[in-house]
Structure 1
Amino acid sequence: MNERYSQATWDARYRESDRVWSGNPNPRLVEHVTGLTPGDALDVGAGEGADSVWLARQGWQVTALDISPVALDRTRTHAEESGVTVATVQHDLLGDAPLPGSYDLVSAQFWHPPLDRFADFRDVLGAAVRPGGMLLVVGHHPADLSTGLRDGHGHAELLFTPEKVAALFAGDAWEVRVAAAPTREVAGADGPVTVTDSVLLAVRR
């Protein structure tokens, strides 16, 4: 298995500090899910649980999925401290087992699969969306390379455009409602930096 995606790699990363992420929900999740009728949601690559907790606060029944049990421990702690219920599942997205259950919403925020598994956005994540449900994919856009923020990741080839993801969902089985590359400002070493997100929102017919 590619070590970048292994449990050992992510466990080690989470153990490096008490908090890896900001603790705030991803802004594109908030943008596209606020106001929707809650149902069952799967938070893919849940990390420390900020998105899962936000969804639960909106009334969703949330399953937080991650390869790292260290991350899921933090998700459970965050949920308990926030007074909400979040189920957790340890799962290897690149393994052979299908995702557990089917959902009204599957959210994948900044999961960048290896090039030979790019179709897993459809074949693995999409398969977990029930008819009438939604898949929300958000990732780093190749335009971010010009900001210098992504250079340190060393995996420029994994960045993708919304058009590349949308092409996976062409046909009668899905309705692509959003395929966009909006920008936002983040804090950089020398001040605010404009970054670009690749956003896909598709509904299973």
Structure 2
Amino acid sequence: MNNKVTTLDDLYLTPALATLLPDKVYVKGFIFAVATSPEIPMPETWMPWLMTKSGEVPATAMLDTLAEGLMDGLREYLNAMRQNTALLPHDWLTLSEGMPRSVLSLWLTGLVAAHAKLEPCWQRAWTLATKQPNTDVAKGKEDPSKRLTRCLKLFTTLADTELALSVRNDEQAALLKENMAKLVAQVPAMLGDYVTLAGELALALPNQFESFTQPNQ
């Protein structure tokens, strides 16, 4: 009996499965955002967001393998956050011809795309947190919205630098190019704050993780 768990990387070794998904780096960024959500959605909610093909439904066995690989990717990021290990390879955080490496931009593109889908989760957590008198949110000790905006602004800028440059005037674009290395260097800290913020807001959602994991126990 083969008890080997299908990993996310394994999915891309099988052409029939790989064609159902976007680029692996994009998927990893997407899954990171799912893992970081204050309220992690059920697999049947977020997995279809990643499917690139509609129409004919793949065989059940293929869908089961796909789900197993995607869940492995989710667990990998959850473990990394619990153990406070690096979320990105170090060599992604360098420039290529003065711009962020394409692998970093693609990963952040996946993160931003997933966050857009998860906005209702973040909003629900924010609303509940403001109603609980003992939370820092309700006490006004910190402003989660500003922290989140700062994180997303950086992620969005580095996800599509061409767009970021195109919407700026010449002086602003030159300044952005000049500071690109500094912005890339801020990514780990911003990801850390994004994770921390999600955790703080999740406190307003008791037992959300337990309810998420219960069906698999």
Tell me the TM-score normalized by structure 2: 0.28
Higher relative contact order (CA 8 A, sep 6+): 2
Bigger Rg, structure 1 or 2: 2
Tell me the TM-score normalized by structure 1: 0.29
